[in-house]
């Protein structure tokens, strides 16, 4: 009887595994299709950047070419190396804006999560509403405002609007509420630590994984931003890569050879983002506060 029971249980388990398998395959297949959909343009740019001007429109779409290094050399030499200037501008906008935005978001999120003061919920609800406002709606008013104070067509016109980011503050607030135990702050107050000391020496170190996430989100968003610098800037010496490559695309209508430079520049502009993610992913750790109260 025991053998029959064991055999029956084994068949039931096998039947259950087989019956549930289609439901496990479907999400995997869906994710695979999504990955292909997202990565195929990157793969196409990688292939197109290897083709010479003569190969770009005459060879099969997915066939690699032989002109990658020539394209890179021509891109770096174009207009005395203006690509490097655009890359430096992009790094200033993305790096500086992401750092400042992360600092403001971390301090604001910590205050909203751990302090009780009049209007706290109203401020948080206002931030939530700010997340829903499209950036295109704010671009023209921002341009008019910066024109009035004489900052239009300057690096500040692109950098300053990126500092206050409602979504970053929202993420910091949620992360601070979960990662910083109230008992840890109370223990610090009992030991005589001031509020500034608690924030800089206790709270912010515990918020590092959340701050890294905010920094990455902001860095990528600013790096890929096109509309704001396109509206704010008129001098191509201040252009980021997005706007600079767009000007090449416009010129490509009369000079088809520039299409190779555009594709090569688009490929090279992705490399820093990949390197940043691979470098900073090690900071995404959990349970940093484990044992802190002890």
Q: Kindly report, residue by residue over 151-209, the tens digit of the pLDDT.
A: 888 999 999 998 988 889 999 999 999 888 888 888 888 888 888 888 888 888 888 88
The pLDDT of 237-265, averaged and rounded, is 88
The 3-state DSSP composition of the chain as helix, strand, coil percent (nearest 5) reads: 80, 0, 20
How far is it, in rounded angstroms, from Cα 147 to Cα 145? Answer: 5
Task: Give Cα separations from 187 to 181, 182, 196 (angstroms).
Answer: 10, 9, 15
Structural domains present in the chain: 69-283 (1.10.3720.10)
* Confidence band of 130 (pLDDT split at 50, 70, 90): confident
How far is it, in rounded angstroms, from Cα 28 to Cα 205? Answer: 37
The model's pTM:
0.82
Phi, then psi, of 285 in degrees rounded to 5: -120, 160
* 218 within 8 A of 165, measured Cβ to Cβ: yes
How far is it, in rounded angstroms, from Cα 161 to Cα 218? Answer: 12
Q: Which pairs count as long-range contacts for 256-259, CB under 8 Å and 24+ apart, including other chains?
A: 256/53, 257/53, 259/53, 259/56
pLDDT digits 0-9 by tens, 77-111: 998 889 999 999 999 999 999 999 999 999 999 99
* 74 within 8 A of 58, measured Cβ to Cβ: no
Q: Which of 126-135, 147-156, 229-238 has the lowest mean pLDDT?
A: 126-135
Task: Give Cα separations from 24 to 16, 21, 33, 34, 80 (angstroms).
Answer: 12, 5, 15, 16, 55
How far is it, in rounded angstroms, from Cα 217 to Cα 263? Answer: 24
The rounded mean pLDDT for the chain is 84
């Amino acid at each position: 009887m025991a053998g029959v029971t064991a055999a029956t249980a084994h068949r039931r388990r096998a039947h259950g595994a087989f019956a549930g398998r289609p439901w496990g395959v479907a999400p995997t297949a869906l994710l695979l299709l999504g990955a292909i959909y997202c990565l195929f343009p990157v793969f196409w740019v990688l292939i197109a950047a290897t083709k010479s001007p003569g190969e770009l429109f005459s060879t099969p779409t997915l066939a690699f070419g032989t002109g990658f290094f020539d394209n890179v050399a021509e891109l770096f030499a174009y207009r005395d190396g203006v690509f490097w200037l655009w890359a430096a501008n992009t790094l200033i906008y993305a790096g500086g804006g992401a750092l400042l935005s992360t600092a403001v978001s971390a301090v604001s999120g910590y205050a909203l999560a751990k302090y009780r003061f009049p209007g706290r919920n109203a401020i948080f609800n206002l931030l939530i509403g700010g997340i829903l406002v499209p950036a295109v709606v704010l671009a023209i008013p921002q341009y008019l405002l910066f024109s009035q104070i004489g900052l239009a067509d300057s690096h500040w016109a692109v950098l300053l609007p990126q500092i206050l980011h409602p979504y970053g503050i929202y993420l910091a607030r949620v992360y601070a509420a979960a990662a910083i135990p109230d008992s840890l702050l109370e223990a610090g107050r009992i030991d005589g630590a001031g509020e500034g000391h608690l924030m800089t020496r206790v709270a912010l170190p515990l918020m590092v994984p959340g701050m890294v996430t905010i920094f990455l989100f902001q860095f990528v968003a600013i790096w890929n931003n096109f509309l704001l610098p396109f509206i704010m800037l008129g001098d191509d010496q201040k252009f980021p890569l997005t706007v600079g490559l767009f000007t090449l695309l416009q010129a490509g209508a009369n000079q088809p050879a520039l299409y190779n430079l555009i594709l090569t520049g688009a490929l090279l502009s992705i490399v820093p983002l990949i390197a940043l993610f691979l470098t900073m992913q090690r900071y995404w750790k959990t349970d940093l506060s484990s044992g802190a109260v002890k």
